[in-house]
């Protein structure tokens, strides 16, 4: 059995078969889960702990808000968020590698170095997708406001890397890769069906989905986490929860209207790309 405090009031408990949330009552002396997590656990309990943290975050996030109707312009805006997430990750995780090295945490440092290599250049995929939609990609990512959840996630990773102990970046990485592996071919095809005919603008999404390398990357991260101390695994579970909560939460104020998007995007159209799109449209 393993457990981790994911909020001041909630402790996530995992066995090899299931997970559950335990309501913590501060000052209650007979609550065994208030003690420091003990034991090495197992591959099964650690996997349940991490995935349970992500599931708990999804359940805790607001589910009442309806996302705007999908349009090609809204997809471009989502790609702006993907660009900033993938652009910020390699330098930040490389910084974490240096921090781990200075702390004498060789395994974590080597893991972070490998993550920086794996994710390098993925921001270019988002730019290519934006360009495929008929826009000047670099101008678009400069002009459009960054989606709020992307801002929150970048800020969270930055704070985790620069904390006294940067172990939180491990939880961030696991959560983002685990969520990505839940994106299936059917979902990607549904997006492609709503884009202009002949347009290929899901390179970045496909790479960060069950069809891309994230499946293998996730397992590598997990096998590293299993070898951490119980206290470190508990911290990773907590940051998995916090990362997933930022990913899934949204509010009405965070969305940009279709009218505003069109106003911002029309001046950024690429004539050559638009001509190619129109030539493909029946």
Q: Which CATH number belongs to the domain containing residue 187 in this structure?
A: 1.20.910.10
Assigned domain for 59 exists = no
This prediction has a pTM of 0.90
Q: Apex CA 274: angle with CA 268 and CA 275, to 5°?
A: 145
Residue-number span of the structural domain to which 235 is assigned: 66-280
Look at residue 32 and tell me if it is in a domain.
no
- How many domains in the chain? 1
**Within a domain: 202:** yes
Q: Is residue 26 part of a domain?
A: no
Render the burial of 147-177: b for 16+ CB within 10 Å, e for the rest: bbbbbbbbebbeebbeeeebbbbbbbbbbbb
Say if 109 falls within a structural domain.
Answer: yes
Contact 93, 119 (CB under 8 A): yes
Q: In angstroms, rounded to a whole number, what is the distance separating the alpha carbons of residues 158 and 165?
A: 12
pLDDT in tens, the chain (282 residues): 898 999 988 999 999 999 999 886 655 555 555 555 655 678 999 999 999 999 999 998 865 556 678 899 999 999 999 999 999 999 999 999 999 999 999 999 999 999 999 999 999 999 999 999 999 999 999 999 999 999 999 999 999 999 999 999 999 999 999 999 999 999 999 999 999 988 999 999 999 999 998 888 999 999 999 999 999 999 999 999 999 999 998 765 578 889 999 999 999 998 665 555 444 443
Q: What is the CA radius of gyration of the chain?
A: 21
């Amino acid at each position: 059995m393993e457990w981790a405090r994911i909020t001041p009031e909630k402790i996530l408990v995992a066995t090899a078969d299931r997970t559950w949330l335990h309501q913590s009552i501060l000052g209650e002396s007979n609550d065994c889960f208030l003690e420091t997590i003990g034991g090495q656990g197992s591959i099964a309990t650690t996997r349940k702990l991490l995935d349970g943290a992500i599931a708990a975050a999804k359940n805790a996030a607001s589910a009442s808000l309806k996302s705007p109707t999908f349009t090609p312009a809204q997809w471009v805006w989502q790609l702006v968020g993907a660009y900033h997430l993938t652009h910020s990750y390699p330098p930040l995780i490389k910084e974490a590698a240096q921090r781990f090295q200075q702390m004498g945490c060789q395994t974590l440092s080597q893991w972070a170095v490998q993550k920086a290599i794996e994710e390098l250049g993925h921001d270019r995929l988002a730019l290519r997708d934006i360009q495929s939609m008929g826009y000047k990609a670099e101008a678009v990512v400069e002009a459009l406001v960054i989606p709020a959840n992307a801002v929150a996630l970048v800020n969270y990773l930055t704070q985790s890397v620069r904390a006294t102990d940067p172990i939180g970046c491990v939880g961030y990485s696991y959560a983002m890769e685990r969520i990505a592996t839940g994106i299936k071919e059917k979902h990607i095809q549904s997006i492609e069906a709503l884009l202009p005919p002949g347009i290929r603008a899901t390179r970045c999404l496909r790479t960060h989905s069950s069809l891309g390398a994230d499946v293998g990357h996730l397992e590598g991260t997990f096998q590293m986490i299993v070898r951490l101390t119980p206290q470190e695994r508990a911290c990773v579970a907590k940051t998995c929860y916090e990362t997933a909560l930022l990913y899934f939460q949204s509010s009405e104020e965070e969305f940009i209207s279709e009218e505003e998007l069109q106003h911002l995007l029309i001046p950024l159209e690429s004539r050559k790309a638009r001509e190619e799109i129109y030539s493909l449209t029946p």
